[in-house]
Amino acid sequence: MKLQAFKTEPVFQLRPWGGRAMAQRLGKKLPDGPIGESWEISAHPNGVSRVSGGPLDGIPLDELVRRAGAELLGARVHKKYRGSFPLLVKLIDIHSLASVQVHPNDEQAQRLEGYPWGKTEAWYIIDRAPEARFFSGLIPEATPKGLRSALASGDALSQLISPEVKAGDCLLIPPGTVHAVGEGVFLLEIQQSSDITYRVYDWDRRDDKGNPRSLHLEKALQVIDFGARPKIYRAERRPDALCRILACDLFVIDEIRVSRGMELPGRPSCTTGTVIEGDLRLVSEGAFLDLHCGDSFVIPAQTAARVESLGPPAAAVLTEIV
């Protein structure tokens, strides 16, 4: 039987800047503590999600990739990523300001950490509080010396660009882009399957024992692109249509807003999805998935599907692996 689309069971991650929005907004059953990230679709060893429901229920995603290979990923993607699942899809609740940080590219990750992939990421902003702040990129006059001086004096804000960002916007954050966000932001993050983060500044935050989190300034200075600038994308919202948000050399992100229903043609490679509004039914290969707001799913390569709203108009963000 051809591999069917499937829902995933996430892995929750404690973060000092996290909150409880995923329980309050989505009804997710969270462990105690500040939950900053829900790794919705992940084969990364720091948090592997599992298939939820259906004939493959409970199978870890990394194991499924080993079993299904090109049938799941698509032949070109399977070859390109040497049989590994290359994306990590997260829901993120940033209750207080997350750290100022930067990520390496593939070459830098291999050289500095011995890991095959760096971290290109995109943020789809689901919701933001009026007081929320976004930082992406450094001011044009920033230099390594000036950045060191500002960080030492606790004046990180003087070095950061703060773009205007609205709910529904999507920010592409290439490796080397210094960034931070927080104080009431709920977002969907699509990124390479990498967990390498170099913290540059953490707002003088202390843990419950009074200790600061470690910083990684020396490595950060080896990867920062001082010319990186924020890029903000937004889909042209049309009902019952696949609306492009952005495309890069790693993934293609689309938004769908489903009123009556629509067809999703089979794609050459695997597609991930997360419902960001309302409830959906996804029908493929003679089976269906009922998906609620906050649920995530995977559509195997070459698999066509139909998507229908289960009530008022619903929305989801889809990502095709490139």
Q: What is the pLDDT of residues 255-289, one digit of tens each?
A: 999 999 999 999 999 999 999 999 999 999 889 99
159 and 201 both lie in a single domain: yes
Q: Which of 20, 6, 96, 93 is nearest to 54 (CA)?
A: 6
SS3 (DSSP) at 220: helix
In a domain, 315, yes or no: yes
165 and 249 both lie in a single domain: no
Q: Residue 21's pLDDT is what?
A: 96
In a domain, 269, yes or no: yes
136 and 42 both lie in a single domain: yes
Backbone angles phi, psi at 317, to 5 degrees: -110, 125
Q: How far apart are CA 52 and CA 6, in angstroms?
A: 7
131 and 249 both lie in a single domain: no
Q: What is the mean pLDDT of the chain?
A: 96
DSSP string for 114-157: S-S----EEEEEEEE-TT-EEEESB-TT--HHHHHHHHHTT-GG
Q: Residues 215-243: pLDDT tens digits?
A: 999 999 999 999 999 899 999 999 999 99
Sheet strands (E) in 196-261: 198-201, 231-233, 242-247, 251-258
Tell me if 313 sits within 8 A of 243, measured CB to CB: no
Q: Residue 149's pLDDT is what?
A: 97
Q: How far apart are CA 96 and CA 203, in angstroms?
A: 10
In a domain, 273, yes or no: yes
Tell me if 115 sits within 8 A of 175, measured CB to CB: no
Q: Residue 280's pLDDT is what?
A: 97
45 and 97 both lie in a single domain: yes
Which run of H or E residues covers position 51?
A: strand 50-52
Tell me if 52 sits within 8 A of 6, measured CB to CB: yes
Residue numbers annotated as active site: 199
Q: How far apart are CA 202 and CA 183, in angstroms?
A: 14
The count of structural domains within the chain is: 2
217 and 268 both lie in a single domain: no
Q: Which of 32, 24, 30 is nearest to 10 (CA)?
A: 30
- Supply the range of the domain harboring residue 215: 6-233
Residues in contact with 51: Cβ distance below 8 Å, sequence separation at least 6, in sequence order? 6, 7, 8, 9, 57, 58, 59, 61, 64
Backbone angles phi, psi at 267, to 5 degrees: -115, 155
163 and 106 both lie in a single domain: yes
Tell me if 161 sits within 8 A of 139, measured CB to CB: yes
Whether the predicted pLDDT of 1 surpasses 70: no
Out of 216, 233, 250, a domain closes at: 233
In a domain, 1, yes or no: no
Out of 189, 214, 233, a domain closes at: 233
Q: Residue 208's pLDDT is what?
A: 76
Q: Residue 210's pLDDT is what?
A: 84
212 and 260 both lie in a single domain: no
176 and 299 both lie in a single domain: no
Q: Residue 126's pLDDT is what?
A: 98
Which run of H or E residues covers position 63?
A: helix 61-68
Q: Residue 185's pLDDT is what?
A: 98
Q: Residue 251's pLDDT is what?
A: 98
SS3 (DSSP) at 103: coil
- Burial class for 128, CB neighbours closer than 10 Å (0-12, 13-18, 19+): buried
Length of the chain: 322
Tell me if 284 sits within 8 A of 303, measured CB to CB: yes
In a domain, 295, yes or no: yes
Whether the predicted pLDDT of 317 surpasses 80: yes
75 and 135 both lie in a single domain: yes
In a domain, 152, yes or no: yes
298 and 167 both lie in a single domain: no
Out of 175, 210, 233, a domain closes at: 233
SS3 (DSSP) at 20: coil
In a domain, 181, yes or no: yes
Other beta carbons within 10 angstroms of residue 60's beta carbon come to 15
Whether the predicted pLDDT of 309 surpasses 80: yes
- The CATH number of residue 273's host domain is 2.60.120.10
206 and 279 both lie in a single domain: no
In a domain, 71, yes or no: yes
